[in-house]
Amino acid sequence: MNVLILGSGGREHTLAQKISESTKCNNLYVAPGNAGTLHCAKNLQLDILNFQEVADCIKTHDIDMMVVGPEAPLVEGIKDYFDSLTEFSDLKIIGPSKRGAELEGSKERAKEFMKAHKVPTAAYQSFDQASLEEGKTFLKTMTPPYVLKADGLAGGKGVLILSDIEEAQQELEHMLTKNKFGKASEKVVIEEFLDGIELSVFVLTDGKNYLTLPNAKDYKRIGEGDTGLNTGGMGAISPVPFADDEFMRKVEERIVKPSIEGLQKEQIDFTGFLFIGLMKVDNDPYVVEYNVRMGDPETEVVIPRIKSDFLDVLDKTSQGKINEAELIIDSRSAATVMLVSGGYPEAYEKGKTITGLDETQGVFVCHAGTKTENDQVFTNGGRVIAVTAFGNTFQEALEIAYQKADKINFEKKYFRKDLGKDLI
């Protein structure tokens, strides 16, 4: 098969590496890709939000399957675009329809879906500019901390958690009337605070049946001890030690099954990844959010643990036959450490030379934000490189990942040295 992966981060590099190992893979392309994807695929320069450009590329390269990495093209309806064109009726697509992608594209829609299908989640109400005063009154009925969520896509920055009622009311006003998060905060979901520990569960579904992939925990804050600003993710481990069999059974029965059944009941075309962000409160799971793609950096620990031919799994999924696919999981732990540019997630510099990449035998060096020129590799983003290692325990995996992370250098390199410490 000829496969095209859309995206340019660590998630896409990891998917490309795994798919390139498949005996079914003929030609593999990543658009636009990065300096890492060049080692296992061909990079194609294109604007993945310009569907006409993507369509031309699919024709030129005789693509059989397209795997959509990030959420933006899905929320913009890339699946529906190709479904509407008869010349692409044979194209296999991993990624849900626009209606499916609303589960990530609108927090209000996601909450309504959870309520309709009895999926446990925090109590909530949503507000718009016209109901600002009701929103402020509603806040007074809640106990702090107050959780305010911009309805639309806000690049992971649209959630505010505040302890002071006046500040919460003022931020609500800024979100609704002063475009704090642009169009994304034209509506705001106010929800009950869930006091627990977070983890991520990943499901691959053909819309009828599903496979549960390994779970993971990511580290979102920039600073050690989970302090400072939110980032795209500073590292991850899989499996999650506190998600034991009993807890995962609850996740499956209370959350995964009703979610997939909900998609079916609402006749939503959903072929792809459902990423369920969970909070474990006492011993029970609650959904914090749905995403309609794999997580990053969770992909860097989840996908390497899959030992089955992953392209075969995706192929069966795209044909509505996921029940015929088999998932073999490596029982070892995987951990990834993200190396970022100094200053990230605020302003940072790009174009720094990366050295030491050839001193990393035995680990997977996943490129997140890199580019190559004249055989040299340069930083090209806030998150630069994720180093993934295996071990018999997550501590062992982390120790190896940290050893190799020390070998890779670029000016103002930063990484968190406390990953996993919260779990011991």
96 interacts with ligand GLY by CB under 6 A? no
Q: Which of 64, 218, 309, 315 binds ligand GLY (CB under 6 A)?
A: 218
CB of 112 to ligand AMP, least distance (A): 15
333 strand-pairing partners: 391
191 interacts with ligand AMP by CB under 6 A? yes
CA distance 338 to 347: 17
Amino acid at 229: L
Judged by CB, which is closer to ligand GLY: 116, or 229?
229
Q: Are 257 and 93 in contact (CB under 8 A)?
A: no
Q: Is 131 helix (H, G, I), strand (E, B) or coil?
A: helix
Give me 123's structure tokens. Answer: 């109590």
Give me 411's structure tokens. Answer: 């000016």
298 interacts with ligand GLY by CB under 6 A? yes
Judged by CB, which is closer to ligand GLY: 316, or 383?
383
Judged by CB, which is closer to ligand GLY: 200, or 360?
200
CA distance 216 to 172: 32
193 interacts with ligand AMP by CB under 6 A? yes
CA distance 395 to 405: 15
306 interacts with ligand AMP by CB under 6 A? no
Q: Are 70 and 7 in contact (CB under 8 A)?
A: yes
Judged by CB, which is closer to ligand GLY: 136, or 293?
293
295 interacts with ligand GLY by CB under 6 A? yes
Judged by CB, which is closer to ligand AMP: 30, or 288?
288
159 interacts with ligand AMP by CB under 6 A? yes
CB of 409 to ligand AMP, least distance (A): 31
C-alpha angle 150-248-117 in degrees, rounded to nearest 5: 50
Interacting residues with ligand GLY between 115 and 174 (CB under 6 A) = 156
Pairing of strands 42-43, 27-32: parallel
Judged by CB, which is closer to ligand GLY: 127, or 275?
275
Q: Are 352 and 236 in contact (CB under 8 A)?
A: no
390 strand-pairing partners: 334
CA distance 127 to 338: 37
Among the listed ranges 92-100, 158-166, 289-297, 386-394, the one in contact with ligand GLY (CB under 6 A) is 289-297
191's contact among ligand GLY, ligand AMP, none, with CB below 5 to 8 A by partner kind, is ligand AMP
Please identify the residue of the shown chain whose CB is closest to the bound ligand GLY: 295
Backbone angles phi, psi at 258, to 5 degrees: -65, -30
Q: Which of 241, 277, 342, 391 binds ligand AMP (CB under 6 A)?
A: 277
CB of 283 to ligand GLY, least distance (A): 24
Instruction: Report the sign of the C-alpha dihedral through residues 103, 106, 111, 113, in that order.
Output: negative
289 interacts with ligand AMP by CB under 6 A? yes
CA distance 317 to 328: 16
For 142-165, b/e burial (b = at least 16 CB within 10 A) is beeebbbbbbbbbeeebbbebeee
Map residues 103-142 to x or -, x wherever contact with ligand AMP holds by CB under 6 A: -------------------x--------------------
69 interacts with ligand GLY by CB under 6 A? no
166 strand-pairing partners: none
User: Applying CB under 6 A, which residues contact ligand AMP?
Assistant: 122, 147, 149, 159, 161, 191, 193-194, 198, 277, 288-289
> Which positions lie near ligand GLY, rule CB under 6 A?
156, 218, 233, 291, 295-296, 298
